[in-house]
């Protein structure tokens, strides 16, 4: 198939920004975006002022150095920060107008940059081939719930563990009603005799098993829907996601002052095994992402502005030390909206299959 670039368009929300699109393949779109130099200059001055606040030079108080001196010293950094801020922001607006959802971080390349002339850059977008969400009813016939009944041996196993725990056994010589009265208090039970104690243990195990069985059932339903949809994730995207997981893993080890060799030795694994696991996890995560976002589009699942703001307010409450301007960043807000969208899609997907979804389950955001 041959792909042709479309004609240049002007961004509806800002006529100082224009762009053209070229479909490189079924999984890659390249936008060439042109920004009026005045747009860049505004962002550049903002970044320069931020740097000026902490700029120190002999003869001037902190933050009071002349702007031209600050620019001479910090201009290059201000330029980098301005472009790093501007390109994702503008690209997000373009993608929103084009109704394109990237499945990997956008890659940027500056084409032309001359003073007082439009700045031109390219944004490479990784996407997935479109597909239609199929009829989901056959899934219910293929996926069955596991048995969550509690066996006597499971109850006896819990009793044995409690009895072998010195802090739970105390000074008791026998596993009798007197022991039950004491141990019940320590674990939050109300039993005063062995029969009621065993029933409480059984009920507790049943609640846990029901939750695990339900989670597994829902996971298998989603997996079967993905299989039925024949979603094909490009290998390059899977490898990229796996590489990001490895990078995050190495950063965590560095913070703990532990080498990868030490970690592998402690856990009894090899780096090759970890990389295989990251590849598998990455493939599954991307499949979930693509299915849920495609489901949202197909079933017209929308995230309203109040819903988005409600989610952002929750994040604000949990991160009180974060800088306020973070919450106004269009790229970040788009990311949060995407998370809420996936959560709603997952909830609607389960409801479509006749599964009751509790509020707590909806807020888990399993696909996040």
Domains in the chain: ranges and CATH? 9-126 (3.30.70.1050)
- 28-35 and 9-10 strand pairing: unpaired
Of 304, 140, 152, 337, give the one whose Cα is nearest residue 228.
Answer: 140
Regions of the chain with pLDDT less than 50: 1-5, 359-368
Note the pLDDT tens digit of each residue in 81-131.
899 989 999 999 999 899 888 877 788 999 999 989 999 999 999 887 677
According to the model, what pLDDT value does residue 12 have?
84
Q: How far apart are CA 239 and CA 234, in angstroms?
A: 9
Note the pLDDT tens digit of each residue in 182-215.
999 999 999 999 999 999 999 999 999 999 999 9
- Cα 96 from chain centre: 19
Those residues with Cβ within 8 angstroms of residue 9's Cβ, 6 or more apart along the chain or in another chain:
18, 19, 20, 97
């Amino acid at each position: 198939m041959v792909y042709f670039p479309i004609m240049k368009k002007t961004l509806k929300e800002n006529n100082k920004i224009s762009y053209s699109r070229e479909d490189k393949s079924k999984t890659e779109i390249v936008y060439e975006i042109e920004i009026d130099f005045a747009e860049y200059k505004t962002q550049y001055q903002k970044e320069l002022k931020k740097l000026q606040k902490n700029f120190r030079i002999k003869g001037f108080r902190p933050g009071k150095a002349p702007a031209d001196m600050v620019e001479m010293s910090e201009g290059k950094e201000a330029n980098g920060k301005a472009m790093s801020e501007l390109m994702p922001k503008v690209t997000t607006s373009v993608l929103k107008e084009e109704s394109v959802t990237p499945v990997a971080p956008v890659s940027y390349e500056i084409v032309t940059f001359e003073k007082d002339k439009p700045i031109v850059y390219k944004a490479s977008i990784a996407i997935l081939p479109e597909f239609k969400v199929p009829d989901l009813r056959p899934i219910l016939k293929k996926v069955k719930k596991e048995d969550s009944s509690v066996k006597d041996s499971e109850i006896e196993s819990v009793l044995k563990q409690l009895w072998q725990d010195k802090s739970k056994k105390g000074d008791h010589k026998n596993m009798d009603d007197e022991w039950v009265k004491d141990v019940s208090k320590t674990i939050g039970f109300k039993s005063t005799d062995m029969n009621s104690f065993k029933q409480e243990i059984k009920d507790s195990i049943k609640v846990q098993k029901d939750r695990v069985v339900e989670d597994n059932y829902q996971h298998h339903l989603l997996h079967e829907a993905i299989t039925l949809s024949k979603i094909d994730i490009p290998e390059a995207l899977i490898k990229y996601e796996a590489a990001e997981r490895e990078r995050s893993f190495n950063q965590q080890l560095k913070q703990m002052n532990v080498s990868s060799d030490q970690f592998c030795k402690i856990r009894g694994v090899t780096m090759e095994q970890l990389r295989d696991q990251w590849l598998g996890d990455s493939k599954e995560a991307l499949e979930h992402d693509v299915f849920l976002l495609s489901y949202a589009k197909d079933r017209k699942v929308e995230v309203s502005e109040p819903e988005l703001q409600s989610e952002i307010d929750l994040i604000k409450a949990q991160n009180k030390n974060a800088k306020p301007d973070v919450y106004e960043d269009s790229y970040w807000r788009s990311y949060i909206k995407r998370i809420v969208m996936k959560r709603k899609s997952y909830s609607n997907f389960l409801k479509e299959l006749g599964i009751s979804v509790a509020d707590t389950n909806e807020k888990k955001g399993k696909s996040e």
